[in-house]
């Protein structure tokens, strides 16, 4: 997993986050309040600036576009942004408003008080013109557009509409972190990422259960004309709903949570990078969920790096790898398989894929799997579900159900992962996994192999493995029925 070639243009409300750390030693003689003895100060970009921090930490590149005032906080922000590898500072200086500055006073690892310096002035014509001019000059350099709306004035209606329209005209995905109840102002966005409270406010629907969150997301998506809604749900993880209406949950791993502040910024930053790099929205969601899991385990507003995200994905797989109720042993879900393949590829390993019913395993099957494994470093096997086998082979098949076939297949030394599919062909698996090597038996012609065009277009190759003569499940079943010995 490498995001170094991905540049995300981030537009939104820019802030200076200032932390004053100290110790409370006594009560003031002037008033019944504690006296804090300061010992250090920490300052960093906040708001859309924290989204950028996350993108840079993950190895991506970012263009930052927002407003800053002509004041001390604005100068501090510029210094914080200067000379950061991978960052283009396209911020606009405004004489109409101060730099948004949030100052948090912290003692004994707890915030004592927070002060906010900001203007509630609507976006002024000169500010709007400067933002649109910067957008026009910077958008050609981006692979994705991200709008971080804190409802502080930067993302006026014309700025939002123009940014989305121009990005879509260029074929760029658009991700929005909303702060308004009216999601229609983000019409045309690829994905909007509200938290559960924001989703409830935008739809006036309950969001307590998975089913309620999915229903509210479908309603929000329809109102906004968006491609997807990704709801962030704190300790409950994430819930993605796309245009097909299907809901895809991503659960959070049990952990000690230090601070959830900034986790939403981590989610949308990771989501944009992963999707812009070619992952599906479901795959991008799982990567974003892992990144969020890393940052909530750190105190304060934190970021995650790629190594931490990969380690978190490994931990999630270990926890989720045990068979779930109704989930056969040894059989991965598609999201699990996709994440596993992604990590193997990130490690420079060649991933192979083959598929079949594999009903009654025989030497011909083992020879095919051995040949497939010899062409790659890791082999994924796709198994037809029972319903799929019946459609292909007839009402008397399969002899062994999916759970039994998956358990046996996972035990074969040539096989590294097993995933099921219910369609007549494995085209969706091939599209999601994009293996480096696609293997089928030599009884197929190259133009008959489903998914070969996708693999080859992605730089992979097709291998037609030699079959063992006279070995097939149908022949084996016939021998059993005739009670005849093998030849």
Residues 6 or more apart in contact with residue 391 via CB below 8 angstroms? 424
List the single range of 16-25, 104-113, 215-224 with lowest mean pLDDT. Answer: 104-113
Beta strands 34-47 and 14-27, pairing class: antiparallel
Q: How far apart are CA 11 and CA 174, in angstroms?
A: 11
pLDDT in tens, 179-222: 889 999 999 999 999 999 999 999 999 999 999 999 999 999 99
Instruction: Give the pLDDT of residue 459.
Output: 93
The pair phi, psi for residue 382, each rounded to 5°, is -95, 125
**How confident is the model at residue 49, as a pLDDT?**
95
pLDDT of residue 152: 93
Q: What is the mean pLDDT of residues 69-81?
A: 94
- Going from the C-alpha of 127 to that of each of 124, 158, 165, the distances in angstroms are 5, 12, 19
Residue 128 counted as an annotated binding residue: no
Residues of the chain with CATH 3.40.1190.20: 7-319
- Give the distance from CA 200 to its chain's centroid: 22
Neighbour-count burial for 165-203, b at 16+ CB within 10 Å, e otherwise? ebbeeeebbbbbbbebeebebbebbbbbbbbbebbbebb
Q: Give residue 258's pLDDT.
A: 46
Q: Is 198 annotated as a binding residue?
A: yes
Tens digits of residue pLDDT in 231-289:
998 878 899 999 888 888 887 765 554 445 678 899 999 999 999 998 889 888 988 98
Please tell me the least confidently modeled range out of 338-342, 389-393, 432-436. Answer: 338-342
Q: Do 480 and 359 meet the contact criterion of CB atoms below 8 Å apart?
A: no
Give per-residue burial for 439-459: e unless 16+ CB within 10 Å, then b. bbbeeeeeeebbbbebbeeee
CA distance 166 to 175: 14
> Is position 265 annotated as part of the catalytic site?
yes
How far apart, in whole angstroms, are the C-alpha atoms of residue 192 and residue 174?
Answer: 9
User: Contact, 110 vs 93, CB < 8 A?
Assistant: no
Angle (CA) 84-152-215 rounded to 5° is 100
Query: The domain 334-482 is classified under which CATH number: 3.40.50.300, 3.90.650.10, 3.40.605.10, 3.40.50.620?
Result: 3.40.50.620
Q: Exactly one of 265, 386, 416, 436 is catalytic; which is it?
A: 265
Q: Does the pLDDT of residue 472 top 90, yes or no?
A: no
- pLDDT higher than 90, residue 295: no
Cα 51 to Cα 138: distance, rounded to the nearest angstrom: 17
Say yes or no to pLDDT of 473 above 60: no
Instruction: Give the phi and the psi of residue 171 in degrees, each rounded to 5.
Output: 80, 20
- pLDDT confidence bin for 87, thresholds 50/70/90: very high
**How many Cβ atoms are within 10 Å of 265's Cβ, its own excluded?**
28
**Residue spans in the chain of domains classed CATH 3.40.50.620:** 334-482
Ordered alpha helix ranges (H), 87-209? 125-138, 157-169, 196-203
Cα dihedral 332, 428, 286, 181 sign = negative
CATH of domain 7-319: 3.40.1190.20
Check residue 233 and give its pLDDT: 87
The number of C-alpha atoms within 13 Å of 281 and in the hemisphere containing its C-beta is 22
Distance CA 54, CA 245 (A): 30
197 is in an annotated binding site: yes
Task: Over range 460-472, report the average pLDDT.
Answer: 78
Q: Please measure the distance between the N-terminal and C-terminal CA atoms of the chain and give it in whole angstroms.
A: 50
Global confidence as pTM? 0.71
- Per-residue model confidence (pLDDT) at position 322: 44
């Amino acid at each position: 997993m490498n995001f170094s070639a991905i540049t995300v243009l981030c537009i939104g409300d820019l802030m200076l986050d200032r932390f004053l750390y100290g110790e409370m030693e006594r009560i003031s003689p002037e008033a019944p309040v504690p006296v804090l003895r300061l010992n250090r100060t920490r300052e960093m970009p906040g708001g859309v600036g924290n989204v950028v921090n996350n993108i840079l930490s993950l190895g991506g590149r970012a263009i930052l576009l927002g407003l800053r005032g002509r004041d001390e906080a604005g100068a501090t922000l510029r210094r914080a942004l200067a000379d950061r590898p991978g960052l283009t500072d396209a911020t606009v200086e405004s004489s109409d408003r101060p730099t948004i500055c949030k100052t948090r006073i912290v003692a004994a690892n707890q915030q004592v008080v927070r002060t906010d310096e900001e203007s509630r002035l609507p976006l002024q014509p000169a500010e709007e013109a400067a933002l649109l001019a910067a957008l026009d000059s910077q958008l050609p350099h981006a692979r994705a557009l991200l709008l971080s709306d804190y409802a502080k004035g930067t993302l006026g209606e014309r700025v939002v509409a123009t940014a989305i329209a121009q990005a879509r005209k260029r074929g760029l995905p658009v991700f929005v972190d909303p702060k308004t109840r009216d999601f229609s102002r983000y019409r045309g966005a690829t994905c909007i990422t509200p938290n559960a409270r924001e989703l409830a406010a935008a739809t006036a629907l309950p969001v307590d259960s998975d089913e309620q969150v999915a229903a509210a997301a479908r309603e929000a998506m329809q109102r906004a004309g968006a491609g997807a809604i990704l709801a962030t749900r704190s300790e409950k993880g994430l819930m993605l709903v796309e245009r097909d209406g299907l809901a895809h949950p991503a659960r959070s791993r049990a952990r000690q949570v230090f601070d959830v502040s900034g986790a939403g910024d981590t989610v949308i930053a990771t989501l944009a990078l992963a999707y812009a790099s070619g992952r599906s929205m479901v795959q991008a969601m799982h990567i974003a969920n892992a990144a969020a899991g890393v940052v909530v385990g750190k105190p304060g507003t934190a970021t995650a790096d790629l190594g931490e995200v990969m380690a978190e994905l490994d931990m999630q797989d270990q926890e989720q790898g045990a068979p779930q109720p109704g989930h056969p042993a040894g059989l991965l879900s598609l999201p699990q398989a996709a994440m596993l393949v992604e990590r193997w590829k990130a490690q420079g390993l060649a991933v192979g894929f083959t598929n079949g019913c594999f009903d009654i395993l025989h030497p011909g099957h083992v020879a095919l799997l051995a040949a497939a494994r010899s062409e790659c470093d890791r082999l994924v096997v796709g198994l037809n579900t029972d319903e799929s086998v019946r459609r292909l082979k007839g009402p008397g098949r399969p002899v062994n159900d999916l759970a039994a076939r998956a358990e046996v297949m996972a035990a074969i030394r040539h096989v590294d992962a097993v995933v099921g599919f219910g369609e007549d062909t494995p085209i969706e698996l091939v599209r999601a996994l994009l293996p480096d090597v696609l293997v089928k038996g030599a009884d197929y012609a190259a133009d008959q192999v489903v998914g070969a065009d996708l693999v080859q277009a992605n730089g992979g190759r097709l291998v037609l493995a030699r079959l063992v003569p006279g070995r097939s499940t149908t022949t084996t079943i016939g021998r059993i029925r005739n009670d005849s010995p093998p030849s």
